Amino acid sequence: MRIHHLNCGTLCPLARRLINGDGGLFERGHMVCHCLLIEGPQGLILVDTGLGMQDITHGLPRLFEALTAPQLTPAGTALAQVQALGFSADDVRDIIVTHLDLDHAGGLADFPKARVHLHGRELRAAQAGQGMDAHRYLKRQWAHGPAWQAYDATDGEPWFGLHAVRALTGLPPEILLVPLPGHSKGHTGVAVHGDDGWVLHGGDAWFSHLDLVTPRRTPVGLKLFQWLAGDHTRQRRASLAQVQALAARAGDDVQLICAHDPADLARCTGH
């Protein structure tokens, strides 16, 4: 399976030094919404959708816009980039979301015929929208009523020592959900075996490649955001520890990427 790496949302928060680890305190930072487009045997599969056309039309919550200064342009959406590759929205048969935060689920409505695969705990938390969850999810992004495919049980053999949900409905066996809870209640990674080997899209289980080096050199602004946006600190730290162990154990056998690190995107696209 061929994997395309897309940036479906550029974010420009304040204080670049605290976000990217370089530049000045008064410079704008640079974050991305790293999504995967997979050419599967029966159609296209998206992993996360970034920000979508609906977000450009209706805008995003004021606090999110104030903190992240998103660049809302049609050309940056997953829909536009799928079309630029010569496909149509209907060619996207399936979408897998690491979680339903608004910067990961914004493009769902642009592919209304696609099935949406995710962890069952994430779907239930988003639909209930109680407490802090009421602020992290934007229900209008899935008001079109997607064909949800929710999974809870982990079955079969582990994947590189991590629990995995296999046999995703209608998807090739080379695509797995890897539960990495803590950032949100049902947060997962998505493992894909493509033409160049295994890729783990870790969503927001970590925010920078600097989370995976020893010793950790995570910029302080990202540490603060991880703490503020996380659902469960102990689970989040445990998930990160699993990924750090995987990075040390698997070496070059698994390419590890997270959702918002521009360095990961540059490494994967060669730009």
* pLDDT tier for residue 19 given thresholds of 50, 70 and 90: very high
Instruction: Tell me the mean pLDDT in the region 99-128.
Output: 98
Ordered by where they begin, the domains of the chain are: 2-269 (3.60.15.10)
Strand runs (DSSP E) across the chain, as ranges? Answer: 2-7, 34-40, 43-47, 92-96, 115-119, 147-151, 175-179, 188-194, 197-201, 254-257
* pLDDT tier for residue 198 given thresholds of 50, 70 and 90: very high
Q: Are 81 and 110 in contact (CB under 8 A)?
A: no
Q: Are 183 and 80 in contact (CB under 8 A)?
A: no
DSSP classification of residue 267 = H
pLDDT tens-digit map of 48-64 = 999 999 999 999 999 99
Q: Nearest to residue 30, comparing CAs of 68, 4, 61? A: 68
Instruction: Tell me the mean pLDDT in the region 242-266.
Output: 95
Question: The whole model's pTM is what?
Answer: 0.96
Q: Are 184 and 99 in contact (CB under 8 A)?
A: yes
| Torsion angle of C-alpha atoms 241, 192, 226, 81, degrees rounded to 10 | 160
CB neighbour burial string for 153-181, b if at least 16 within 10 angstroms, e if fewer: ebeeeebbebebbbebeebeeebbbbbbb
